[in-house]
Amino acid sequence: MAKLLNVDLASGAAVYEDLKAEWSDLGGRGLIGALMTERVDPMVDPLGPDNLFIVAAGVLAGTAVPNGGRLSVGAKSPLTKGIKEANAGGVAARKLARLGLRGLAVSGQAAEPMVMYLNADGATLKPAGDLWGLGTYDLIGKLRAEYGDGVGIVSCGPVGELMYPNAAVVSTTPDFLPRTASRGGLGAVMGSKKLKAIVIDDAGANEVAVANPAQLRSAVTVLTNGIRTDQIMHYLRDSGTAMLVTLADMLECLATKNYSQGRFDDNYEISGEKMAWLAKTERPNMVMKHHCMPGCVVYCSTIFTDAEGNYVTSGIEFESLALLGSNCMINDIDMLAKIDHLCDDLGIDTMETGGAIGVAMEAGVLAWGDAQGAYDLIKGIPEGNENSKLIAQGVVATGNALGVERIPAVKGQGMAAWEPRVLKGTGVTYATSPQGADHTDGNALPGMNYDASSPEGQADLSKRLQKYFAAMDTIGMCQFPALAIDSKTMLKKKLVQAIGAVLGKSFTVDDLYELGWRVLKMEVAFNRAAGFTTEDDRLPEFFTKEVCEPSGHVFDVPTADLDGVFADA
Ligand code: SF4
């Protein structure tokens, strides 16, 4: 039976408990929802000792299900002030599962900086004053040297230590590169607890137990093949998620110049196609087709190098390129790679940061397209520069302080880069998701047999997608293969067959949606108790009034439709 480990940083006590029977199909985001609603006062100070910092593996972690090993982290968010889950690739979820753990719930605050070492013998806390202040790359190097190549590391950067609400949690890949669970400021919760890092060592641990191995094997064979051969997964493998820049531009829904238009003239310069061309022609050591976690069969990740072949960054994704690039009118992919490296090293969310810089550019703090200015602004966060401190507090704080009216955020969180006036189902998700304006909660991309820009039926579409992706975040499935699975009935049947094989019970497609709905209901209940109302389920007014060119659309989904999404939650 999977277990939970509760660690109180104030006393140092570590207590194991069996996962309750009614939580057996909850991992990742679902387990975070259950723990938060059961154990955390929704009115708690997000940066106080009574908030929980939760690290959770998905239900499929450590099994042979392809792409089923995302790591979720969660807490009450210092950015949204609501419940928050963010997830990342890396090795940590697999290692937690191999240690028999579905989740780790960290309470209290340590008196001094700590590193938690977790292995088959339990959790050990070690003073980490020498690591406090280190950037992500130096921290990973030191911990790897101390604990060896068999560990996974979950950490916060210098900005998390300073408790700014754009701080991310970092998780290491099999080759010790950083991946971030970026959204909602969860790195600041880690920093508030003075927990610099969790080192997870599964040496000597057993394989994850599966109730029906034969059923799992047959489902995995079909799933792996179906995901691998999907056309979109092919594109992702060839050009990384950055290939979505050209797609979004073509669809006229690429956030550009602080959401004032849906196309960026220089889109090719920041695209996956450009990266693939650089890799093929003139960049030594540049890698396309990299994977961020064990069991991935898509390989959409990348390693970006400079002209001499030196490492610059890895995993530079569509959202980072769009929000720091087109949204800020920056067209220099080398500068964007440098900025991405800096954000990873400081441990911050590139999306919230790009959104905040776009707002600051609209206020005239920097000129549009000023890549060096953006880099310097970010670099100044730990140095305490005034405008830098502002952007570290997120899109809304930046806009309010600078007197900007067009602030692209919902529930306090900066919006993802898919234009909600053009993809109106995505707009409904941004408005109503209990997580704030996240694309990963239900991005209604075209190709789903509906008119993306009609207001009709968007609320129903968003609700279905929100249930589906809440379930994906609960089982630990990466969102890219989840798109392939969603597009093919046969693959969805194989996925639920695999879940049933792991859990040892019948599990249907209806059960998958019911699981997602159960998770969403817990999140909505938490947020309502934290003071959220339907008035928080709205897009900023400018999206409903200002036309997005060249599409000519405004966001015109009726308010009653927005209110209907969670009316029965
Ligand atoms: S598909 Fe991409 S993001 Fe997902 S696990 Fe693979 S490399 Fe990571």
Q: What is the DSSP track for 337-355?
A: HHHHHHHHHHTB-HHHHHH
d(CA 61, CA 50): 28
Indicate whether 429 belongs to any domain. Answer: no
Determine if ligand 1 sits within 6 Å of the CB of residue 232: no
Nearest atom, ligand 1, residue 479 CA: 4
Q: How confident is the model at residue 449 (pLDDT cuts 50, 70, 90)?
A: low
- Least confidently predicted of 264-268, 360-364, 450-454, 470-474: 450-454
Concatenating the DSSP letter of every residue in 488-543 gives: -HHHHHHHHHHHHHHHTS---HHHHHHHHHHHHHHHHHHHHHTT--GGGS---THH
Is the predicted pLDDT of residue 82 greater than 90, yes or no? yes
Q: Tell me if residue 544 falls in helix, strand or coil.
A: helix
d(CA 76, CA 94): 25
Determine if ligand 1 sits within 6 Å of the CB of residue 472: no
Distance from the CA of 482 to the center of ligand 1, in angstroms?
11
Is the predicted pLDDT of residue 447 greater than 80, yes or no? no
Per-residue pLDDT, 99: 98
Distance from the CA of 479 to the center of ligand 1, in angstroms?
8
Do the Cβ atoms of 371 and 326 come closer than 8 Å?
A: no
Sequence-separated contacts (24+) of 379-385 with Cβ below 8 Å? 379/342, 381/159, 381/162, 381/164, 381/346, 381/348, 382/158, 382/159, 382/162, 382/346
Nearest atom, ligand 1, residue 69 CA: 5
Length of the chain equals 569
Q: Tell me if residue 288 falls in helix, strand or coil.
A: strand
Average of pLDDT values for 57-74? 98
Per-residue pLDDT tens for 119-147? 999 999 999 999 999 999 999 999 999 99
Distance from the CA of 370 to the center of ligand 1, in angstroms?
31
Q: What number of other Cβ atoms are within 10 A of residue 324's Cβ?
A: 29
Residue 249 burial by CB count (10 A; 0-12/13-18/19+): exposed, middle or buried? buried
Per-residue pLDDT tens for 405-422? 999 999 999 999 999 999
Nearest atom, ligand 1, residue 298 CA: 1
Name the average pLDDT for the chain: 97
Per-residue pLDDT, 469: 98
Indicate whether 89 belongs to any domain. Answer: yes
Distance from the CA of 293 to the center of ligand 1, in angstroms?
7
Distance from the CA of 88 to the center of ligand 1, in angstroms?
9
Q: 474 — phi, psi (to 5°)?
A: -85, -35
Q: How confident is the model at residue 452 (pLDDT cuts 50, 70, 90)?
A: confident
Q: Which of 569, 409, 417, 441 is closest to 81 using CA atoms?
A: 409
Indicate whether 186 belongs to any domain. Answer: yes
Per-residue pLDDT tens for 222-241? 999 999 999 999 999 999 99
Determine if ligand 1 sits within 6 Å of the CB of residue 227: no
Report the domain count for the chain: 1
Q: Tell me if residue 220 falls in helix, strand or coil.
A: helix
Q: How confident is the model at residue 264 (pLDDT cuts 50, 70, 90)?
A: very high
Q: How confident is the model at residue 526 (pLDDT cuts 50, 70, 90)?
A: very high
Q: Which of 307, 339, 306 is closest to 322 using CA atoms?
A: 339
Is the predicted pLDDT of residue 85 greater than 80, yes or no? yes
Q: Tell me if residue 466 falls in helix, strand or coil.
A: helix
Determine if ligand 1 sits within 6 Å of the CB of residue 58: no
CA 132 to chain centre: 24
Q: What is the CATH number of the domain that holds 96?
A: 3.60.9.10
Determine if ligand 1 sits within 6 Å of the CB of residue 468: no
Do the Cβ atoms of 127 and 114 come closer than 8 Å?
A: yes
- Any alpha helices (H) in 148-257, and if so which ranges? 158-161, 186-192, 213-228, 231-239, 244-250
Per-residue pLDDT, 453: 81
Nearest CA to ligand 1 atom 8: 292
The residue range of the domain holding 138 is 3-201
Distance from the CA of 312 to the center of ligand 1, in angstroms?
19
d(CA 397, CA 401): 6
Distance from the CA of 410 to the center of ligand 1, in angstroms?
27
Distance from the CA of 525 to the center of ligand 1, in angstroms?
31
Per-residue pLDDT, 450: 73
Indicate whether 399 belongs to any domain. Answer: no
Indicate whether 65 belongs to any domain. Answer: yes
Distance from the CA of 290 to the center of ligand 1, in angstroms?
8
d(CA 87, CA 319): 15
- Helix then strand count (H, E) for the chain reads 22, 17
Do the Cβ atoms of 259 and 322 come closer than 8 Å?
A: no
Of the chain, the percentage scoring pLDDT greater than 90 comes to 98
Choose one of 480, 483, 485 to mutate for the ligand 1 pocket test, by most ligand atoms within 8 angstroms of C-beta.
480
Per-residue pLDDT, 121: 94
pTM equals 0.97
Per-residue pLDDT, 355: 98
Of the chain, the percentage scoring pLDDT greater than 70 comes to 99
Is the predicted pLDDT of residue 217 greater than 80, yes or no? yes
Q: 305 — phi, psi (to 5°)?
A: -120, 165
Determine if ligand 1 sits within 6 Å of the CB of residue 291: yes
Determine if ligand 1 sits within 6 Å of the CB of residue 394: no
Nearest CA to ligand 1 atom 7: 291
Average of pLDDT values for 545-560? 97
Indicate whether 562 belongs to any domain. Answer: no
Is the predicted pLDDT of residue 451 greater than 90, yes or no? no
Distance from the CA of 520 to the center of ligand 1, in angstroms?
24
For 36, the token pair is 């938060």
Is the predicted pLDDT of residue 442 greater than 90, yes or no? yes
Q: How confident is the model at residue 302 (pLDDT cuts 50, 70, 90)?
A: very high
Determine if ligand 1 sits within 6 Å of the CB of residue 393: no
Q: How confident is the model at residue 275 (pLDDT cuts 50, 70, 90)?
A: very high
Q: 416 — phi, psi (to 5°)?
A: -70, 175
Choose one of 300, 475, 477 to mutate for the ligand 1 pocket test, by most ligand atoms within 8 angstroms of C-beta.
300
Q: How confident is the model at residue 153 (pLDDT cuts 50, 70, 90)?
A: very high
Indicate whether 229 belongs to any domain. Answer: no
Dihedral over alpha carbons 251, 253, 255, 260 (to 10 degrees): 110
Q: How confident is the model at residue 448 (pLDDT cuts 50, 70, 90)?
A: low
Average of pLDDT values for 66-86? 98
Average of pLDDT values for 261-265? 98
Determine if ligand 1 sits within 6 Å of the CB of residue 89: yes
Per-residue pLDDT, 519: 98
Cis peptide before 408 (omega within 30 of 0): no
